[in-house]
Amino acid sequence: MKAIYMNELAQEYFPRSTKRSAVTQLRRWVVLCVPLQHRLEELSFHKGQRVLTPLQHEAVVEFLGEPGE
């Protein structure tokens, strides 16, 4: 995994949405997945963060699955 901008990852999960809409939806999914929220907190994720570290990116994919699945 690599560091990735939140809007790029969101576009991978929601390719037919605008960047803004995709980011909003991805953030909503993170909020609804409490175990993912806890894992991201352990990895020093903070609200409004625009770039995910490789470990944060890995956690999102682990809990939400690969984009496009």
Tokens of 16: 């037919």
Q: What is the pLDDT of residue 68?
A: 80
Q: What is the pLDDT of residue 47?
A: 86
User: The whole model's pTM is what?
Assistant: 0.89
| Helices and strands, number each (H, E), in the chain | 4, 2
Could you report the per-residue pLDDT of 3-22, keeping only the tens digit for each? 899 999 999 999 999 999 99
Q: What is the pLDDT of residue 19?
A: 94
Contacts from 24-32 at CB under 8 Å and sequence distance 24+? 29/64, 30/60
Could you report the per-residue pLDDT of 34-49, keeping only the tens digit for each? 999 999 999 999 988 9
Torsion sign across C-alpha atoms 4, 21, 32, 50: positive
What is the three-class DSSP state of 16? coil
Q: What is the pLDDT of residue 49?
A: 92
